[in-house]
Amino acid sequence: MSINFPLILVLGTAGTGIVWLIDLILLRPRRLLAAAAMSEKLGSGESTDEVVNKLLKEPLLVEYAVSFFPVLAIVLVLRSFLFEPFQIPTGSMIPTLEVGDFILVNKYAYGVRLPVIGTKIFEVDDPKNGEVMVFIPPHEDEYFIKRVVGIPGDRVRYEDKNIYVNDQKQAQVFVAQIPPDRPQYLVYKETLGGQDHLIHRNTFRDTRTQEWVIPDGYYFMMGDNRDESSDSRYWGLVAEENIVGKAIAVWLHKEPGLRLPGFSRNSWIH
């Protein structure tokens, strides 16, 4: 079971905020009154100042809450409404994204949503064919990242490893076979929704023909590593309310094992 970090962040921000507010409204005025009364009773002097300072000192819980609340609140706003980091866990988007890539997800590109519950409160734009999107799939409570292949109203057909959208074949141009002598996979440049990107295909033909009609409020997603991707071909469509955001950039890469992260793969995502 994965850790629900957004929920933890919301609860942490709310908890520290409530403690800070209780101190501001109830506890701090009491400390000020007690300190003023003690100062009047004892008069001036170093011993009085010491006693007064102890009376004014915030409890440890309040001290921590006041320190952490603004930090948590800023992180909550940034992560929930602006940008969220995400690490690529699998090779389903190779060659566009590799395992170990750290990417930046634009959280407001497809509308501003409330954290945790995901309710859209402000419209911005809708996903378009060819864009790379982070979402929660229907079969698993985890972030997935794939390319948008079908939007509401589209008829998507997958035939002989080619994509047809509304009966229009999306262009694929052969680039290379790797390795050249005994190829394990083929590299193509695909144009989808006006977006050019590279895809990987294995060397075997696929004689199946699959077709889907995309209803309102749903999206059809596929990985760029076409024969090594768990996507809408297998577990179905992605509901609009499960959209997380648009993947926009690779900002860091970390190879598996005891290796330092690097910036050699930094780039915009297309």
Q: Residue 101: give its domain's CATH number.
A: 2.10.109.10
pLDDT in tens, 69-95: 999 999 999 888 999 999 999 999 999
Which domain, by its residues, includes 125? Answer: 88-268
Q: Which of 80, 108, 138 is the last residue of a domain?
A: 80
Task: Let me know how long the chain is.
Answer: 270
- What pLDDT was estimated at residue 106? 96
Judge if 147 and 217 occupy the same domain. Answer: yes
Q: Are 104 and 251 in contact (CB under 8 A)?
A: yes
- What pLDDT was estimated at residue 98? 95
Q: How far apart are CA 1 and CA 23, in angstroms?
A: 36
pLDDT in tens, 221-254: 999 999 999 999 999 999 999 999 999 999 999 9
Judge if 57 and 187 occupy the same domain. Answer: no
Cβ-count burial 77-93 (b if 16+ within 10 Å, e if not): eebbbebbebebebbbb
What single string gives the DSSP state of each residue in 124-147? -----TT-EEEE--TT-SS-EEEE
Please identify which of the residues 39, 41, 80, 92 carries the catalytic annotation. Answer: 92
pLDDT in tens, 93-109: 999 999 999 999 999 99
Separate counts of helices (H) and strands (E) for the chain: 5, 17
Judge if 66 and 129 occupy the same domain. Answer: no
Please identify which of the residues 80, 107, 146, 232 carries the catalytic annotation. Answer: 146
User: In the annotation, is 254 catalytic?
Assistant: no
User: In the annotation, is 92 catalytic?
Assistant: yes
Judge if 230 and 147 occupy the same domain. Answer: yes
Judge if 155 and 250 occupy the same domain. Answer: yes
Give the three-class secondary structure for 95.
Answer: coil
Per the structure, the count of domains in the chain is: 2
Q: Which of 35, 63, 80 is the last residue of a domain?
A: 80
Q: Is the pLDDT of residue 19 over 70?
A: yes
Judge if 103 and 229 occupy the same domain. Answer: yes
Judge if 15 and 113 occupy the same domain. Answer: no
Q: How far apart are CA 164 and CA 148, in angstroms?
A: 13
